[in-house]
Amino acid sequence: MRVSIGLVLVFVFLCGCGGGATVKGKVTFEDGSPLTQGAVKFVTETTEATGDIKSNGTYTLFENKPGDGITPGKYAVTVTAVTGGGSDGAPVVNLVDSKFANPATSGLSCEVKGSMTYDIKVSKPE
């Protein structure tokens, strides 16, 4: 009996440690064209989830590793995308307005209650 209770507790622990909500979406500019690179971050005081933006503008968030999802809660949202700054000495150029890089100025927020789609519109730098 002792072994079976231990196995049940291990199973419950393992099942409870993964499988957050799946949050995905698409990042587009005001004209509807996709942002083709960069990252989306959902942040709170204690949690951060990120997703790389693919060439078609889509992203899927994760907290620790791809596929693990995100903890439900209220998040501030940021979008960053730059080009340049490599070893060739090219200058760093923001592809989106720099306000989107800061959770206090992005104007983006999302309450995650379960798996969902969250599409984001951004503007180009002025």
Q: pLDDT tens digit string along 77-99? A: 999 999 987 788 889 899 999 99
Q: CA dihedral in degrees (88, 82, 54, 68; nearest 10)?
A: 110
CA distance 18 to 70: 9
- pTM of the shown model: 0.82
The answer to whether 31 touches 1, Cβ cutoff 8 Å, is no
- 45's tokens: 């005081």
Name the burial class of residue 42, with classes exposed (0-12), middle (13-18) and buried (19+) by CB atoms within 10 angstroms of its CB.
buried
Q: pLDDT tens digit string along 17-55? A: 445 999 999 999 999 999 999 999 999 999 999 999 999
